[in-house]
Amino acid sequence: MTQPVSRKWWLALSIAAALASAPAFAAKDVVVAVGSNFTTLDPYDANDTLSQAVAKSFYQGLFGLDKEMKLQNVLAESYTVSPDGLVYTVKLHSGVKFQDGTDFNAEAVKANLDRASNPDNHLKRYNLYKNIASTEAVDPTTVKITLKQPFSAFINILAHPATAMISPAALKKYGKDIGFHPVGTGAL
């Protein structure tokens, strides 16, 4: 006589199988299970929420927002804005490295913002950065961002999930294929 297998039994068996297979993944493997597909791992070229959410596994930005939507420093230590609202000077944390060993510094910020603000790159998030006139690495831990016109909410753009810092070495190596080769300062 055969007995039907209960749902609880199948659930317990499924959980046990999943836990047993967990050690099979190497420390550098990332496993994502979702009922949809993300479009890219390039935060500057992503226009969907899922891609932005997955990118947080790899990348960090200069700033972020807490649960109350208040600005929080992440890779930045502080910032100041010129009286005319055109120049944002950002002090960066020192000693931070990208996952490929490249130093995170003002040149890395410049590389990312120059790429994002260049219309020739045809990035989906270009409109967030088109008001940037120039980005200058003042020293390794100071970056100066000059706007084309004052925009008081610009600091919120620097806190947007799309403004994630990608390794400049990876940008150079992978070019337009960076969305398949994420290298940030994030959780990995």
Residue 46 falls within a domain, yes or no?
A: no
Domain hosting residue 66, numbered range: 62-180
pLDDT in tens, 109-143: 999 999 999 999 999 999 999 999 999 999 999 99
When divided into structural domains, the chain yields a total of: 1
Rounded percentage of the chain residues whose pLDDT exceeds 90? 69
Q: How confident is the model at residue 50 (pLDDT cuts 50, 70, 90)?
A: confident
Residue 41 falls within a domain, yes or no?
A: no
Residue 6 falls within a domain, yes or no?
A: no
Residue 20 falls within a domain, yes or no?
A: no
Measured distance CA(132)–CA(144) in Å, rounded: 11
Residue 14 falls within a domain, yes or no?
A: no
Cβ contacts of 64-69, under 8 Å, gap ≥ 24: 64/159, 65/159
Look at residue 173 in the predicted model and tell me its pLDDT: 97
Count of alpha carbons within 13 angstroms of residue 125, beta-carbon side: 25
Residue 3 falls within a domain, yes or no?
A: no
Mean pLDDT, rounded, for 88-102? 97
pTM: 0.79
Residue 72 falls within a domain, yes or no?
A: yes
Residue 138 falls within a domain, yes or no?
A: yes
Count of alpha carbons within 13 angstroms of residue 75, beta-carbon side: 27
Q: Assign residue 122 the CATH number of its domain.
A: 3.90.76.10
